[in-house]
Amino acid sequence: MDFTETQLHRYSRHIILPEVGGTGQTALLRARVLVVGAGGLGAPLLLYLAAAGVGTIGVVDDDTVDLSNLQRQVIHDEGSLGVPKVESAAARIRTLNPDVTVETHKTRITRDNALDLIQRYDIVADGSDNFATRFLLNDACYLAKKTLVSAAILRFDGQVSTFKAHLGDPHPCYRCIFREPPPRGMVPSCSEGGVLGALAGFIGSLQATEVLKEVLGIGESLSGSLLMMDTLYASYQRITVKRDPECPLCGTHPTIHDLSAH
């Protein structure tokens, strides 16, 4: 595509990167990414995808902005209190980069709408804050043959990985690592256990980097790896994860063929 003078200036630091260039920036402008959750992870994720020039960004969230969100959800501000998060996020993105088309979905993602939403996009980024949604998105992305970039945070800890088991071996899915959701109440939510605000920015930015790498087809994917960070002690681990032949979703004899169990 032909860039305008404004676009050449805006994306100049991308275009001079040999791994990106004009071809890569064109790919970003043509990309469609769905972000599930406009909260702690979604806030930096959405901002950096928009700043990078991802052409179409879908935002899924059914919540409204609360004062307690502002400690970490930097895409919102006090003027957005009581406003649906998807609307607040969309307004901020439009002021940041008019090249970006924002598609808002003020809803909770469920087994009834997940496949329809996901099929409209190239890549899905999971910024949700509960296990039910993480497992639903994993299953839906596998069935829809879409790449999923997933992240999670709690207290001072974060993790990021990419899942594209639909491509076959050696790529695992989320269930290859975590077979089933933990029993209710075993793992606290951020509202119960707390979370360092800056951690959301750190992990969300890393998640955005992995999404951009997948769009551009550059570097080494996190598929097959789980990157774990303890920011309180500045420790990092990259754990190799193999595809599990016994996985009920992507294994040799799968038992999950649709989303009816969710």
Element (H, E) at 105: strand 101-105
Place of tokens 């076959």: 168
The answer to whether the beta carbons of residues 115 and 98 sit under 8 Å apart is no
Longest Cα separation, the chain: 55
Structure tokens at 258: 């649709």
What is this structure's pTM?
0.96
Whose CA is closest to 124, among 111, 139, 137?
A: 137
pLDDT at 184: 78
pLDDT of the chain along its 262 residues, tens only? 789 999 999 999 999 999 999 999 999 999 999 999 999 999 999 999 999 999 999 999 999 999 999 999 999 999 999 999 999 999 999 999 999 999 999 999 999 999 999 999 999 999 998 999 999 999 999 999 999 999 999 999 999 999 999 999 999 999 999 998 887 777 777 777 889 999 999 999 999 999 999 999 999 999 999 999 999 999 999 999 999 999 999 999 999 999 999 9
Place of tokens 């994306």: 11
Domains identified in the chain and CATH numbers: 9-240 (3.40.50.720)
3-state secondary structure 130-155: CHHHHHHHHHHHHHHCCEEEEEEEEE
**Average pLDDT of the residues of the chain:** 96
Whose CA is closest to 58, among 132, 140, 125?
A: 125
Structure tokens at 183: 């029993």
Task: Count how many residues are written for the chain.
Answer: 262
The answer to whether the beta carbons of residues 158 and 152 sit under 8 Å apart is yes
Q: Other C-beta atoms within 10 Å of 176: how many? A: 23
Beta strands 101-105 and 56-60, pairing class: parallel
189: number of CA atoms within 13 Å, CB side?
A: 8
Contacts from 19-22 at CB under 8 Å and sequence distance 24+? Answer: 19/216, 19/218, 19/219, 20/216, 20/218
> Distance between CA 172 and CA 195 in Å, rounded?
28
pLDDT digits (tens, 9 = 90+) for 131-188: 999 999 999 999 999 999 999 999 999 999 999 999 999 999 999 999 988 877 777 7
